[in-house]
Each structure stands twice: as structure tokens, then as C-alpha cells.
Amino acid sequence: MNAISNLPAEIAVTRLPAFDDNYFWLVHGAGDAQRSVAVVDPGDAATVLAALESQGLTLATILVTHHHADHIGGVAALAARFGVPVFGPAREDIPARTLAVGEGDEVELPALGLRFQVFDVPGHTAGHIAYYGHGALFCGDTLFSGGCGRLFEGTPQQMLNSLDKLSQLPPETRVYCAHEYTASNLRFAAAVEPGNAALLEYQALVTTLRARNEATIPTTVGLEMRINPFLRTRLAAVRAAATAHAGRVPADDAAAFAVVREWKNGFR
């Protein structure tokens, strides 16, 4: 387990590694409520219970971004044990959900003294949502460092729109995604943009971090705008790479995004 990382604007977050490459997130309350936490995307109850016990924390809320098993596997057990509210996407089936939320909603967590905005970010799944507030973004499998989620249920246009929405957040926003995919994502990103100096510098840092088994998450919106090909598909270098890979000029922005996403799907 990693130590709490302090955030600006009152909150702190603890990373809980799980499975092969998942991260669950404990969001600590503000001020005197630091020992009360929300958990984001708890795919396994035992991992969360061990963290609560070892750190002397109280679970106050569960936040869910989408319905995949590695994000909801522990929700029902935790909700039954602690009797806490469960926020989840209105357009997906979430176990034990007590409050269905979507675009424009605000999630109030009075026990923690925190409030988050909800964004609809479909693409990876049809009803995927993200939570934003206090300098932090909890985006599940929509945006990764150097990458984005596979399009299991959504369209390229939907995912492009979702990433456009997240890219408008302040550049210092810390991005808490749900998987440690950064090293593999950057290998692909470097194939798309081999001349991107910021990307190559970041890739070297990530290689060092992973060699020490250290996490690369959180990232920031500003960093991702400089190195993530899925946030850069309108730029000339990425558009040229998409054209070369596809053997044709993409018809529009969504088509260019689709080429890059399909390229990543088969990249080894």
C-alpha cells in the first residue's frame, strides 16, 4: 500500500493496488474528517477492508464509475457491511447503488466535507461517469496516462467527446485512473509520435519508476495533453501517423481517433 498523497484544496487520496494492475482509491475527508473515506471503484472488498483496518479509517461512501467486474466486485459486500451510500452511473446496472447520477449532478459527501461534479464520459462503456472536485479527477477507465479505455460499448465519437470534456479541466488537475497501464501505453504513444520530446522524457521517467515498482498514477491533465496520443489526434503529427497507418486520410476527427484506437488495440 502506498502512502497518502496530499492534494491541494483539502483532500488526500490513498492508492490501493489490486489484482494485476488495478488501483482503487480511498478519498479522505477534509480537515477533521481525514479518517473518514470514500472508496472509488472497489473491485474487491478484502483489499478495502484490510486498508480500513490497518489505517483506522471509516468508510463513509462508495463511488462507482462503471459496471465492469473489476470496479464493482466489492461494492455489494462493502455496502452491506457498512450501510453506506453507493453512487453510480444512472445508465448502468450497479449492485447496491442507492444514488444514480450523471452529467450535471453534484455528489455531496457531508461526512467527508467534500463535493464532486459528475461528468458523463461514455466510450469505454455506454454509461461511464467520472467524478471531479478538489483538484482531482476520478475517471475509471476513460482516460489513462498515455492512453484511453477500449471501446467496448461506445463509439469513437463518444470517446473523443468524453476526452475533449476532460481535457478542458485545469492542467494541474490530478488524474486518478483505475489501472497501471502507463508503460505499455507510452510504448504505443512513442510509435505514434517518435519526435515528441516531452513524451520521450516522460517515458524515461516511467521506465525508472516501474523498474522500482513505483506507481505512475496520478498523472495530470496538463501532462496528458503533452504526451497522450488520444488527446492529440487533431494535431498534425498524430494525424499524419494515423494516415500512414491506415493508408488513407481519415475523413474527420472521429475517424482519425478511430484509426489510432484500432492501432492501439493490435499494438504489441
Nearest partner of 163 among 88, 229, 89, judged by Cα: 229
Secondary structure of residue 140 in the 3-state scheme: strand
Q: Assess contact for 39 and 79: CB atoms under 8 A.
A: no
Pairing of strands 114-120, 106-109: antiparallel
Bridge pairing between strands 86-89 and 99-101: parallel
Q: Cα separation of 31 and 28, whole Å?
A: 9
Q: How far apart are alpha carbons 54 and 159 in whole angstroms?
A: 38
Residues annotated as catalytic are 66, 68, 70-71, 124, 141, 179
And the C-alpha cell for 112?
Answer: 467527508
Query: Is 189 within 8 Å of 152 (Cβ atoms)?
Result: no
* Spatial contact of 80 and 98, defined as CB atoms under 8 Å apart: no
What is the CA angle 15-50-42, rounded to 5?
A: 55
